[in-house]
Amino acid sequence: MQEKAEIRSKYWLALFLVAAYTVPFGIGIYTDNVFFDLQWLADLTTVILNGIMQGGVYAMFAVGLTLIFGVMRIINVAHGELVMLGAYLTWMFFFYVGIDPLLALFLTLPIAFVIGVLIQKLLLNAVVGGPELTPLLITFGLGLTIIHIVEAIFTTDYRTIPYAPDALQISESINIGRSKIISFVMASFISISVFFFLKIHRIGKAIRATAQNADVAMVCGINIFHIYMITSGLAAALAVAGGALVSIQFGFNPETGVLYTLQAFAIIVLGGRGHYIGALIGGVMLAVIESLISFMIPNGTAMVEIASYGMMVFVLLIRPRGLMGPKEN
Amino acid sequence: MADAEIALDIQNLKKYFGGIKAVDGCTFQVPKGQISGLIGPNGSGKTTTFNLLTGVLAADSGEVLYNGENIVGLRPYEIFNRGISRTFQITRIYREMTVFENMLSASSMKVPLREARARAEQLMEFVTLTKLRGEYGGNLSYGQQKLLEFARALMTDPDLILLDEPAAGVNRTLLNNLLDHIHHLQEEQGKTVLIVEHDMNVIMNHCEKVFVLDYGVKIAEGLPEDIQTNEEVIEAYFGHK
């Protein structure tokens, strides 16, 4: 019985995703935004490529969120604020010290790691393993605190980092922003490195062991509180790296972090909570559908968010595990 | 028996869950370098005792002396790192990690990786799991999972091994295999083994000393043959005549 329901939910999810990807085309045809010529196809390709590039970056910081959830069962709603903080850190190094945003990663990532460790040590270690609401509320308060501190220092003005603004000509009619490509390559590199760290390195193995069963990890000699701190540090570093990579593409202000939190949630729900590869796939899928919507649906940019959060709700209803998440007990 | 060295000195150990006295002032001494058994009817506090000894549960009161040190209140990994290792009644391996990864996960970070790998290989050989080294834990049969858990518990070369129902759900051949391993550990390497078990064959034929719990209290201890005829033990298992 259970297995049947399991397979059925998989099919429903697949069906839902196909429908979700078809809808923008349908509306596009209905509203005469779809043309069947080469130029339109080139535009569509550009849009999809852009979506994939975007998705790579989203996926990277979503992975941070999924790591924390997977290892500690903590829902960290301050994750997007760390992304925002990453953008500001990069911005500061760029404007005050004159460091290239990518080279600045060598400074911002260690800083982020320390911030993550401190958050874990001072705030989360005390409540991990307890009722889920407490850490949720703590990170909620933490997120707001970060927003207001950043606001007090930098005001609510939008900031931008002018970095590689030119576009790369791929073919005659397909071109992609250089900063997007750089971000994607960087994000892929970081995501893949972290993946192999988790897969191969002993600490990575200990992190996975803790995620699978913290009680067993403990009786097998793993100091799970160390693991929690490393996980938090890693997640914060991924968020801050995400912040650095979005900061060279988009403007940001202290409030933008909230959007990234929500985005990351939509991604990890789609990919499967706690699943690493799932988050990567979910990130790219979500970004692609978003770009399809803004490309083909009139006034699409406003619809984008409806789509991603609508998708999150539907995935939770149809198949709470998402694409690859572990079975709920 | 009285002059045997003591591996684990359990003094007046207590653990209540609300009104339920799971372990209620339990006192016994596990002799060093021997295989001992811990038996008792369902709900007599055997597994809870194991959980207290390994720090999985925090004791309400009492002492557990291991090498002269009270280990009550230590975290599970601290106890593990002092040389006490265990398996679970229902196997708890990492289902989404390979056999080899399961093994490595129990090695201390302080041990060089090369040594840890060599140790894992050696133990997989010992429990005949070498062929399955790349298989995911979740794909193993229940018996194989038991072997894996047993081998994993030996990764750090512990001095004291606590086995929670090693015979449950394991076929005879595999069980004999497992018991051979246990004897090997005790005879060749001088390890102390404490077994919780419902299978009386295992207890009677393989343990040198048996402790009987009932309602969280030790009601008897002694040689297997003495325990079999002990009035109190029979009463605990079968009730009043």
Residue B34 maps to a domain: yes
Give per-residue pLDDT as tens, A1-11.
Answer: 678 888 898 99
- Does the distance separating the beta carbons of B97 and A202 come in below 8 Å? no
Give the mean model confidence (pLDDT) for residues A153-177.
86
pLDDT, residue A1, reads: 67
Residue B119 maps to a domain: yes
Number of domains in chain B: 1
pLDDT, residue A282, reads: 93
Among left, alpha and beta (phi > 0; psi -120 to 50; other), residue B16 is beta
Question: Does residue A192 sit at the B interface (CB-CB below 8 Å)?
Answer: no
pLDDT, residue A11, reads: 92
Question: Does residue A326 sit at the B interface (CB-CB below 8 Å)?
Answer: yes
How close A65 comes to chain B (CA, Å)?
20
Question: Does residue B152 sit at the A interface (CB-CB below 8 Å)?
Answer: yes
Residue B1 maps to a domain: no
**Residue A303 vs residue A232, higher pLDDT:** A232
Kindly report the average pLDDT of chain B as a whole number: 88
One-letter-per-residue 3-state SS of chain A: CHHHHHHHHHHHHHHHHHHHHHHHHHHHHHCCCCCCCHHHHHHHHHHHHHHHHHHHHHHHHHHHHHHHHHHHCCCCCCHHHHHHHHHHHHHHHHHHHCCCCCCCHHHHHHHHHHHHHHHHHHHHCCCCCCCCHHHHHHHHHHHHHHHHHHHHHHCCCCECCCCCCCEEECCCCCEEEHHHHHHHHHHHHHHHHHHHHHHHCHHHHHHHHHHHCHHHHHHCCCCHHHHHHHHHHHHHHHHHHHHHHHHCCCCECCCHHHHHHHHHHHHHHHHCCCCHHHHHHHHHHHHHHHHHHHHHCCCHHHHHHHHHHHHHHHHHHHCCCCCCCCCCC
Q: Does the pLDDT at position B240 exceed 70? A: no
Give the mean model confidence (pLDDT) for residues B71-75.
91
What percent of chain B is predicted at pLDDT more than 70? Answer: 98
pLDDT-derived band at B126, boundaries 50, 70, 90: confident
Q: Which of B92, B93, B156 sits opposite A221 (nearest CB)?
A: B156
How close B107 comes to chain A (CA, Å)?
8
User: Which residues are CB-contacts of B130 (< 8 A; sequence separation ≥ 6)?
Assistant: B121, B124
Q: Does the pLDDT at position B108 exceed 90? A: no
Give per-residue pLDDT as tens, A142-154.
Answer: 999 999 999 999 9
Q: Does the pLDDT at position A192 exceed 90? A: yes
Q: Which of A212, A215, A219 sits opposite B96 (nearest CB)?
A: A212
Q: Does the pLDDT at position A23 exceed 80? A: yes
Question: Does residue A193 sit at the B interface (CB-CB below 8 Å)?
Answer: no
- CB contact burial A100-112 (16+ within 10 A = b; e otherwise): ebbebbeebbebb
- Does the distance separating the beta carbons of B56 and A218 come in below 8 Å? yes
- Does the distance separating the beta carbons of A213 and B77 come in below 8 Å? no
Give the mean model confidence (pLDDT) for residues A248-267.
92
Enumerate the β-bridge partners of residue B36.
Answer: B194, B209
pLDDT-derived band at A328, boundaries 50, 70, 90: low
Give A213's contacts in chain B (Cβ within 8 Å). Answer: 92, 94
Residue B207 belongs to what domain range?
Answer: 6-238
Residue B39 maps to a domain: yes
pLDDT, residue A324, reads: 87
The CATH number of residue A51's host domain is 1.10.3470
pLDDT-derived band at B241, boundaries 50, 70, 90: low
The CATH number of residue B183's host domain is 3.40.50.300
Residue A327 maps to a domain: no
Residue A204 maps to a domain: yes
Give the mean model confidence (pLDDT) for residues B138-152.
90
Q: Does the pLDDT at position B98 exceed 60? A: yes
Q: Does the pLDDT at position A301 exceed 80? A: no
Q: Does the pLDDT at position B1 exceed 50? A: no
pLDDT, residue B91, reads: 85
How close A221 comes to chain B (CA, Å)?
4
Give per-residue pLDDT as tens, B183-235.
Answer: 988 888 889 999 998 888 888 889 999 998 888 888 888 888 888 888 888 88
Q: Does the pLDDT at position B2 exceed 60? A: no
> Which of B54, B105, B113, B150 should we substitute to test contact with A (largest number of A Cβ atoms within 10 Å)?
B105
Residue A328 maps to a domain: no
Spatial distance between the Cα atoms of A208 and A216, rounded to a whole number of angstroms: 12
Residue A36 belongs to what domain range?
Answer: 2-164+173-318
Number of domains in chain A: 1
**Residue A80 vs residue B111, higher pLDDT:** A80
pLDDT, residue A305, reads: 83
Q: Does the pLDDT at position A126 exceed 80? A: yes
Question: Does residue B96 sit at the A interface (CB-CB below 8 Å)?
Answer: yes
Residue A112 maps to a domain: yes
The residue ranges of DSSP E strands in chain B, in sequence order, are 6-17, 20-31, 35-39, 61-66, 69-70, 84-86, 160-164, 192-196, 209-214, 217-222
Give per-residue pLDDT as tens, A60-101.
Answer: 999 999 999 999 999 999 999 999 999 999 999 999 999 999
